[in-house]
Structure 1
Amino acid sequence: MKKLVVVLIIILCFIATASAQVRFGVKAGGNLSFLYTSGSNQGINADQYNGRFGYHFGGMLEYSLSEMFSIQPELMYLNHGANLKKENSFGMKDGQITLNTLQLPINLKAKFNLGQSDSKLFVYGGPYVGYNMYGKVAGKIDGAKVDNKLYAKDSNMKRFDYGFGIGVGIEMKKFVLTLGNQYGANDISGSEKGKMRAGHVSLSAGYFF
């Protein structure tokens, strides 16, 4: 995966020096995130997670390869995680796992004209890498609030993440509306008792300058 990202970055640099059409933009939106698990992590069994609403925002570039195809790297700040359905083995209730991640997706995008209008339908897919900057498990134990950091010095949780994303959207001149899905391929739990992978479904709006 690391080698693939390096190759894609080299390709982007070559495209830029070849004077390809480049657009800069911003995007933001909401996401419904999940933690896909097996075994037991953070005292929580695999069937005890619910989806959690979060948000994302950041910048994007579009390198046009042709009228139809382009490559779009993004740098996004992602707030995601999961809610706990029931009490875990530590006695925590009303729990929530929160992750704050800096993410770099690199997508190949294909556009299709919608009749005679200026609007276009597009689909995309590609890998991403991410760095989990901050994380916590918050809830209540015996009625008292508890807030435990996931990346403390004694934590085994992994900060580095990677995976794959796909999506579809509509482009209306400079405005874009996107529905996307990401699935993490890396086990971020750092635990021998189980595995944990992050994923989410997102809806975002963007604007190209």
Structure 2
Amino acid sequence: MKKITFIIGLTLLATNIFGQNTSTEYGLKAGINYSKYTPNIEIKGIDIVDFNGKFGFYLGGFVNFGFSDIIKLQPELIFAIQGTNTSQEIEIRFSPHQEPVFGELKTRITESTISIPIMLQIYPTKNFYIEIGPQLGYIVSTKEKVTDNPFPEFESPFGASEDCPNCDKFDLGASLGIGYNFTRLIGINARYYAGLIERNKTIKSSVINLGINYKL
């Protein structure tokens, strides 16, 4: 939380210092993401659920406030499909008198998320920039689907696809990225997001974004 407060403070300071001569531009952005949960779930130091990355996408819009040629502020509204892949070892006893049989159950968790990043951009050169800022998120839905069941005859206990109505909806973190504008209208951007609060008392989000910006 201290990190978020510091980033917001920098943003407000930049706004106060450079807000006298502000230029405003609007734009759209879209791209792919690679996301996962962290950390793995452990019991007594042993991983019982491993979280692995999954690919998704994002799209949205932004407003860019230029306080000078060096300092800009960019609030965004983004819709993203992200989440994680999971794997865990499960144990089945086909009868009370038989030895247990082990297998690896794999699932895919998909989140539909609305995010509001507020990025402070610093331009060391005319076209290249570094950005940092807080990001708020609201998770519209969370769905888990079994992708590999080692015991298909026991499909029912695991479920084929399930919603998670009781999962935490609010997310908060920080983003750090770089970008390059090829022209006044078109640019590329790479960004890493790290969740700073635990969701469902166990996990945090980790997302890498890569995409294209287009100014209207």
State the one-letter code of the partner of 1:177. Answer: I
Q: Does 1:166 align with 2:173?
A: no
Tell me how far apart the structure 2 counterparts of residues 138 and 174 of structure 1 sit (CA, whole Å): 40
Tell me how far apart the structure 1 counterparts of residues 138 and 76 of structure 2 sit (CA, whole Å): 14
Compute the RMSD of aligned alpha carbons. Answer: 3.2
Offset at 1:39? 3.4
- Tell me the SS of whatever aligns to 2:72: strand
The equivalent of 1:117 in structure 2 is none
CA contact 1:37–1:46 (8 Å) conserved in 2: no
Give aligned pairs, total: 194
Offset at 1:113? 2.8
- Which stretch shows the higher mean deviation, 173-182 or 78-87? 78-87
The equivalent of 2:72 in structure 1 is 70
Tell me how far apart the structure 1 counterparts of residues 91 and 144 of structure 2 sit (CA, whole Å): 13
The equivalent of 2:163 in structure 1 is 149
Tell me how far apart the structure 2 counterparts of residues 108 and 46 of structure 1 sit (CA, whole Å): 39
The equivalent of 1:96 in structure 2 is 108
1:187 equivalent among 193, 198, 206: 198
TM-score (normalizing by structure 2)? 0.77
The structure 1 segments of at least 4 consecutive aligned residues displaced by more than 6 Å after TM superposition are: 5-15, 89-92
State the one-letter code of the partner of 1:179. Answer: A
Gaps of 5+ in 1: 115-119
State the one-letter code of the partner of 1:60. Answer: F
- 1:94-148 superposed Cα distances (whole Å, 9 cap, x missing partner): 311111110000010011336xxxxx11110011110111001110554246111
Q: 1:65 to 1:13 in 2, by over 3 A?
A: closer
1:106 equivalent among 104, 113, 118: 118
TM-score (normalizing by structure 1)? 0.79
Tell me how far apart the structure 2 counterparts of residues 32 and 203 of structure 1 sit (CA, whole Å): 9
- 1:15-40 superposed Cα distances (whole Å, 9 cap, x missing partner): 9x956210000000001101002535
The equivalent of 1:35 in structure 2 is 37
The equivalent of 2:136 in structure 1 is 129
Gaps of 5+ in 2: 93-102
Q: 1:92 to 1:205 in 2, by over 3 A?
A: same
State the one-letter code of the partner of 1:112. Answer: P
CA contact 2:41–2:50 (8 Å) conserved in 1: no
Tell me how far apart the structure 1 counterparts of residues 104 and 62 of structure 2 sit (CA, whole Å): 39
CA contact 2:8–2:133 (8 Å) conserved in 1: no
Please tell me whether Structure 1 or Structure 2 has the larger radius of gyration of its CA atoms.
Answer: 2
